Amino acid sequence: MAPTAQQISVALGALRSQATGWADRSTETGKLATEVSDYRYTEREAGLFRGFIDEYDQIIDLLQSRLKEGATAMGEIAGTLNTVAQVYEQEDLAREHEIRNLY
């Protein structure tokens, strides 16, 4: 049995809502990737712990890199969800699902 127009509308709204959520998280994670560089210490700030600065900076670099990758992946997920919703809506409007006997 084919879904009703209301059911399709709800499903598309859910997809788009999820896409917005992923896009928002992508933005926030991207901001964190920028902000994490503020956690670096200069040699003067490190004082007695100077010997650990290089290792500490490597951790900051690694964290920043992972955050950037995460932001990119979340943005891609958002884009995919929006594309799925758009394609489904276009196919539904063209009655392709009915024509292909998918219901």
Q: What is the pLDDT of residues 31-78, one digit of tens each?
A: 999 999 999 888 888 888 788 888 999 999 999 999 999 999 999 999
Instruction: Read off the tokens for 60.
Output: 């900051």
Q: Give counts: helices (H), strands (E), the chain.
A: 4, 0
For 94, the domain range is: 5-99
Torsion of CA 68, 73, 79, 83, to 10 degrees: 170
* Predicted confidence band of residue 103 (pLDDT cuts 50, 70, 90): low
Q: Could you tell me the sign of the dihedral formed by the alpha carbons of 38, 44, 46, 52, in that order?
A: positive
Residues making up the chain, counted from first to last: 103
User: For position 42, which CATH number holds?
Assistant: 1.10.287
Residue type, 5: A
Count the domains in the chain: 1
Contact 52, 46 (CB under 8 A): yes
User: How confident is the model over 3-26, as a mean pLDDT?
Assistant: 95
